[in-house]
Chains A and B, each alone.
Chain A
Amino acid sequence: MSSPDAAQPLMSLWQSACYALQREWRLCCRQRSEWLQPLAFFIVVIALFPLGLSGDLAALRVFAPGIIWVAALLAVLLSLDRLFRDDYLDGVIEQWVLSPQPLVLSVTVKVMLHWCLNGCLLALISPLLGVMLGLSWQEVAVLACSLVPGSFVLAWIGAIGAALTVSLPRGGVLLSLLMLPLYVPVLIFGAGLVRMVALGLPWWPVMALLGGLMATALLMAPWVVAYALRLNISTQ
């Protein structure tokens, strides 16, 4: 936002990014359930599959990549609904829009920290769950590596949806309808990657593709999210 009296920003970009990071970090520390609950959800959903399918490790091993990826996807989705909602209700987002600091910066800091506490943690505990579902060590390593860029893309696509539906009273269900079709490519590549390792096929090209998606998401999504937030504020 560039109003005439704010021609000179009060802080440099770097300073304001640090302040935004401090704020988000403090929020995360005080509301631990925010990022612990999706994690617990991830583990519980995966634990349900052996109960529902069968305890046979050989059979589970076939389904394991898909199970873990779908559970990760649902966990990310679960955490998205509140990504911007509390800030929106408190009026923080309105302040962001009005402040001389670029909205893209605040958005980027928020979503990146959200991803670190959500996607990265999912990737960190996924080896344990992979081994429990009978995957080999190599497959488990690739699974964890694929979840890092994968969850990054999921978080940013989801942030677009969360920003679009932030002013809607019952955005949660709509959010899942909007996001799940868009998550399909990541799911296909991510789960396919682990299957390729199991078949002994070269998996680097798909990994590179996920990395490319990650770079594209970082380049484009922050601006889309900022636009979506602004549209929810300006048409009140």
Chain B
Amino acid sequence: MWHYLHQWASPKWFYQRSGRWLPWLAALTLLTLAVGSIWGLVIAPPDYQQHDSMRIMYVHVPTAILSESVYLLMALCSAVFLIWRIKLADMLASVMAPFGAAMAFLALFTGAVWGIPTWGTWWTWDARLTSMLVLLFLYLGVIALRGAFQQMLAGARAAGIIALVGLVNLPIIKYSVVWWNTLHQASSFSIAHKPAMPASMWLPLLVMIVGSYLFMVTLIMMRTRSEILRREAGMAWVKQLAQAPMSKEDAA
């Protein structure tokens, strides 16, 4: 068991394993996202109040969930890197930061687009919106701090610390709709309760959420692979890989 886990910490092992899994993961992601978006955007019934404008929910909710999950994952990876000094954990964390920032931005953007027809305003200083904006700035801070250091190791550790410190903001974002009763509606989904929406509406949302998590895994895996190649460029196995023809790579 420990041996198996330790193998995962090796960039070479990760590179070879993920290379084998990636096509399957990518195919599954595409399939889930395609099913979810067609189901949600075309087939699902329009809302009785918001009509077709609520369909953006099928993009908005997954991106919002992802932006928070990715932050948590990034902080966990940073903790693993700072405690056990596993290089791969930092590569994962460094790749997650821009992805999370993109998701936070998309959640804000789709929220604004959704806000115009339903609330009549695209922005308001509501607790959830403001805390989401803060999350975006947290991501930008992590990215900026990593980039500011000349030495990669110092940048990696500094970014790890600030990612961990930023964790304190996560519960505030999560519970902002519960603690402050403002414009943003409460979460429409939870594991413990039966959803208030009919099944024809929440099932496609579930598919979209699963699909975007798959998308996250696929994309982070792909970007980590290139990060591995970039950082380990001097290693013998990477040089070998670069010289070998493409077909050998899959067989490795």
> Which residues from chain A sit less than 8 Å from chain B, CB to CB?
157, 160-161, 164-165, 167-168, 171, 174, 177-178, 180-182, 184-185, 188, 224, 227-228, 231-232, 235
Contacts and interface: CB of A to CB of B under 8 A. Distances in A.
Given A181-B169, A184-B169, A232-B154, A164 B161 contact: yes
Given A224-B165, A228-B158, A235-B153, A181 B148 contact: no
The prevalent SS among residues of B at the interface is helix
B172 A185 contact: yes
B8 interface: no
Interface in B115-161: 130-131, 134-135, 137-138, 140-141, 144-145, 148-149, 151, 153-154, 157-158, 161
Interface in B149-190: 149, 151, 153-154, 157-158, 161-162, 165-166, 168-169, 172
Contacts of A224: 161, 165
A105 B93 CA distance: 31
Contact of B162 (A164, A168, A180): A164
Contacts, number: 66
20 contacts: A157-B165, A160-B161, A165-B145, A167-B154, A174-B144, A178-B141, A178-B144, A181-B135, A181-B169, A182-B168, A184-B130, A184-B134, A185-B172, A188-B172, A224-B161, A235-B149, A235-B151, A235-B153, A235-B154, A235-B157
Contacts of B161: 160, 164, 224, 227-228, 231
The prevalent SS among residues of A at the interface is helix
Contacts of B153: 235
Nearest to B153: A235
A228 B149 CA distance: 13
A184 B157 CA distance: 24
Given A157-B165, A164-B162, A181-B166, A174 B148 contact: yes
Contact of B169 (A161, A177, A185): A185
Contacts of A184: 130-131, 134, 169, 172
Interface residues of B, number: 24
Contacts of A164: 145, 158, 161-162
A160 B162 CA distance: 8
A161 B140 CA distance: 15
A68 B166 CA distance: 24
Contacts of B141: 174, 177-178, 181
B145 A174 contact: yes
Contacts of B157: 231, 235
Contacts of B137: 177, 180-181
A188 to B, nearest CB: 8
A69 to B, nearest CB: 15
Nearest to A189: B172
Question: What are the nearest 4 A-B pairs in CB distance?
Answer: A235-B154, A178-B141, A181-B137, A181-B134
Q: Counting chain B CB atoms within 10 Å of each CB, which of A165, A181, A232, A235 scores highest? A: A181
Contacts of A180: 137
B160 to A, nearest CB: 10
A207 B148 CA distance: 37
B154 A231 contact: yes
A81 B188 CA distance: 43
Contact of B158 (A181, A188, A231): A231
B31 to A, nearest CB: 37
Contacts of B149: 167-168, 235
A160 B148 contact: no
Contacts of B168: 182, 185
